[in-house]
Amino acid sequence: MASPRSNLHQESTNTEQIITEFFAKCLHIILESRSPCAYSRNYSGEQTQSSPSSSSSSSSSFRPRDKWLNLALRDCVVDVILVRGPVDCDPVRCSPRRGLVKNLSVEELFPNFWNSGHEECLLEEKSEKIIERWVIQYKNQKSRDFTSGSKRSGGTSSKSLYKKSIVLLRSLYLTVRLLPAHKLFRDLNKSGQIHTYTLSHRVSSSVEPFNRREEEEMRPFNRTEVDTSCGRLCLSVLYRPTLSDLSLEPSTPISPQFIPDYVGSPMTDPLKRFPSLPLAGMVAHGSPSSFPFSRRHSWGYDIYKASQPSVSPSPSPTYSDSRALLSNLGSHRLPPVSLPRHPHETPSSSNVSLCHQYNTSFDEYWPSPIFSPSSSPSPPTHIPSSHPSNALLRCDSAPVSIPAARFGRSPGLPNNHIVPLAPFSKSSRPSSSQTDNSRALLRPGNIQTSVPVRKFSLGKDEVGNLPGAKISSNSSPQISISRSSSRLSFLEAFDDSEFPCPFAVDYDDIRDMHTRYVIQLVAYFVCLMSISEWVSLAVPDPYIYSGFDREPSRYENASDNRQGVTEC
C-alpha cells in the first residue's frame, strides 16, 4: 500500500513534469507562429491545419529534455523582435540584396539608417524593436504545506493541472494567431515578396524591464494563472497593438523581372535597350550606345562582351530550352559566332547599324525552319556576344515565318559583299570588308536574298579561321555538320532557295562551295529553332558558337544528349 508520502512525491513529480512540458510547449507554440526560421524548417502542409489537440502534452513526450526540466524553473521570457534592415541572420529565409531595396518610410523613421553611399554598412545597422513579450513563470509557493495532501478543487492536483494546462495551451495557440505580430509572420512567409524586416526572437530567463516609453506602447493581454500544489503557473503577454506605424510594407520583388517587349519585333525597336540592365564589359569597348544589341533576354548576351554573357538573373523557359538545345548539340564547345574582337576594332556605329539591320530583318524569319515556315518559337541558343549574329540570334523570339525568297538589302552594303554568316574565332582577323560582309549577311533579309552565293569571297582558309568553322583543339569544341544523306536531302531543298549565307562549319571537309554555303545557312537557322524540331527533321546539329568561357553547366547536357551528330 502506497504511503501518503509516496503519493505526494509522485504527485509532485507529475506536477513538475507537467510544468516542464508546459514551458516547452509554450515556447514551441510561440516560436512556431513568430519565428520564420522555425516555421520554414518545420513547416509542412499540415501545420496550418494543426489542431491544438495535437499539441497536448502527450504528443510532447518525444521532445528532448532541456534545461527547462530543472525543478527550480526560472522564468522564461520570449521576446519577439522585429528586426528591420538587411537581414542575413537566417540563410533559410533571408537572402538579402544589399542596397536593392530602399524603403523611404524606413528612411524617414531612421534617417541615418539608409545611406546610399555606404550600403555595405547596412548589415550592421539594424533596428530592433520588441513587439511582443511572452512571460511564462512558475512561482514556487513554499508556504504551501506539501504534506497536507489536501484535495484541490477540480480533482487531484496533477489531473487538474493537466486539464488546465491543456486549456491554457489551446488558448495560447489561438492567442498567438490573433495578435498583430502574426500578420507580420504570415507576410514574411509569403513568397514573392521582399521585406525590409524580419522577426527574430530571444529566449532568456530574465530580461530588462521596459522603459516607460516602451511600456506605454505595449499592452497586456490575458494574464492567466494556474494554481498547482507547489506553486502557481503564470502566462502573460505584452504586445504592441499597432504595427502600422512601423511602415513594414513589403517591396516589389526583384527576381521576377518583366520584360515588356520580350516578344516584340526588332522591326519596331531593334536596338531598344533596357536602361536598368548593366552592359557589363561594354564600357571597355566603347560607349554603351554604340553597342548594337542590348535588348534583354534571358539568353541574351552583350554583343561585344568577351566574358560571360549577361544572362538574365532569373532563368526563363527559353533559357532552359537553350540548354536543351545545347544538350543535343554534342559535347563540342562551339566556336564563337562573333566577329573577331580586334583590339583596334571597336564597335562602331556602322557595326551597330549593321547589326541593327540584322536584328530588324531577322525576326521576320525567326524561328521557322528553313523549308517549312512555321510560327513556332524556338529557343535561343547560346551565342557569343562578340558576334553580330548574336544580335540576330538573340533577337526576340517572335514567331515568324521564313518567306520564300525575300531579300532585303542592307543599305550601305553592296550586294556583292555578302559573306556567309560564318563565325569568327577570337583569334581570327578577317579583313574589315569581310567583317562587314559577314555582318551584312547576318541580316536575315540578306540571307534570303537572291544574291548569288558565289560572291562569297571567303576562301577556305579564311573560313577556316572563322569562328565556328573549325576550332582548334585547344579552343572551344566544334560541332560539325554531318554530310549524311539525310542532311544532303535536306540541304538540297535549299539548293533552289536563295540563301547566300552559309555557315562555315568544317571547310576542310566541304569542298563544294555551294553545299558549304547551304550548310552554313542551315546551321544558322538551326540555331534559331527548337532542338525538337531540328532533331525531328534529322538535320545535323546546328552550329552553336561560344566565343567565351561559359559555365560548364550550360553545356554539360549538350554532351550527354547530343543526337544525330556525325563527323563530316
Please tell me whether residue 155 binds other proteins under the rule CB under 8 A.
yes
Pairwise CA distance, residues 106 & 245, whole Å: 10
Beta-carbon count within 10 A of 167 CB: 12
Binding test (CB under 8 A) with other proteins, winner from 10, 40, 50, 251 = 50
Q: Minimum distance between the CB of residue 334 and other proteins, rounded to whole angstroms? A: 50
In order of 120, 121, 203, 343, the CA distances from 347 in angstroms are: 35, 39, 61, 11
DSSP state, residue 334? P
Measured from the CB atom, the residue of 136 and 504 that comes closer to other proteins is 136
User: Of how many residues is the chain composed?
Assistant: 568
Please tell me whether residue 178 binds other proteins under the rule CB under 8 A.
yes
Please tell me whether residue 143 binds other proteins under the rule CB under 8 A.
no
Q: Minimum distance between the CB of residue 29 and other proteins, rounded to whole angstroms? A: 11
Please tell me whether residue 42 binds other proteins under the rule CB under 8 A.
no
Please tell me whether residue 51 binds other proteins under the rule CB under 8 A.
yes
**H-run or E-run covering 81:** strand 76-84
Binding test (CB under 8 A) with other proteins, winner from 91, 154, 313, 459 = 154
Please tell me whether residue 224 binds other proteins under the rule CB under 8 A.
yes
Site stretch for other proteins (CB under 8 A), options 91-99, 141-149, 216-224, 416-424: 216-224
DSSP state, residue 165? H
Binding test (CB under 8 A) with other proteins, winner from 183, 202, 219, 454 = 183
Residue with cell 527548337: 530
Please tell me whether residue 29 binds other proteins under the rule CB under 8 A.
no
Please tell me whether residue 151 binds other proteins under the rule CB under 8 A.
no
Please tell me whether residue 175 binds other proteins under the rule CB under 8 A.
yes
In order of 102, 177, 201, 352, the CA distances from 128 in angstroms are: 18, 22, 10, 53
Ramachandran quadrant class, 538 (left: phi over 0; alpha: psi -120 to 50; beta: rest)? left
End-to-end C-alpha distance for the chain, whole angstroms? 98
Q: Minimum distance between the CB of residue 264 and other proteins, rounded to whole angstroms? A: 33
Please tell me whether residue 170 binds other proteins under the rule CB under 8 A.
yes
Q: Would you call 3 helix, strand, or coil by DSSP?
A: coil
Peptide bond into 380 cis (omega under 30): no
Please tell me whether residue 159 binds other proteins under the rule CB under 8 A.
yes
Site stretch for other proteins (CB under 8 A), options 157-165, 197-205, 210-218, 245-253: 157-165
Please tell me whether residue 100 binds other proteins under the rule CB under 8 A.
no
Beta-carbon count within 10 A of 52 CB: 15
Grid cell locating 116: 546610399
Measured from the CB atom, the residue of 171 and 350 that comes closer to other proteins is 171
Grid cell locating 268: 519596331
Site stretch for other proteins (CB under 8 A), options 81-89, 222-230, 464-472, 551-559: 222-230
Grid cell locating 48: 496550418
Pairwise CA distance, residues 227 & 225, whole Å: 7
Q: Minimum distance between the CB of residue 174 and other proteins, rounded to whole angstroms? A: 6
Measured from the CB atom, the residue of 74 and 159 that comes closer to other proteins is 159
Q: Minimum distance between the CB of residue 136 and other proteins, rounded to whole angstroms? A: 14
Please tell me whether residue 49 binds other proteins under the rule CB under 8 A.
yes
- Report the DSSP beta bridge partners of residue 367: 400
Pairwise CA distance, residues 448 & 372, whole Å: 14
| Interacting residue ranges for other proteins, rule: CB under 8 A | 48-54, 153-155, 159, 163-164, 166-168, 170-171, 173-175, 177-178, 182-183, 186, 221-222, 224, 226
